[in-house]
Amino acid sequence: MAGASGSELLLLPFDAALKEIALRAERGIRLENWEGWVRFRDGMRAKSLSVSGSFALSSDPARAASAATEAIKRAHEKWQRNPEYPGAELLIGLSFAETGRST
């Protein structure tokens, strides 16, 4: 799935999303954007209306990862207390800066 900037959008559960952010930050790959998605019981997915995601993450990979991780944890805790759709799962959509592109 392509993200707004043309980079691939990964849709991952909470734990996997945090792991992916950390692994890529360690390699110097910057998280461009994250957003909330909902996976319904029937497997259908849609953007979350209550978990909007990031706005203007740092251009530094470590700072972007830290800010996003904290915000995703807060969103997940809120979802656990009061899910947007009972029985649905919150997924985290991640878009990373593309690396190795020549201009």
| Contact status, residue 16 vs residue 93, Cβ threshold 8 Å | no
pTM (whole model) above 0.75: yes
Please give the chain's pLDDT, 103 residues, in tens.
654 444 689 999 999 999 999 999 999 999 999 999 999 999 999 999 999 999 889 999 999 999 999 999 999 999 999 999 999 999 999 999 976 443 3
For residue 12, the surrounding DSSP H or E stretch is strand 9-13
Q: Is 91 exposed, middle or buried (0-12, 13-18, 19+ CB in 10 A)?
A: buried
For residue 26, the surrounding DSSP H or E stretch is helix 14-26
Q: Which domains does the chain have, with CATH numbers?
A: 10-96 (3.30.190)
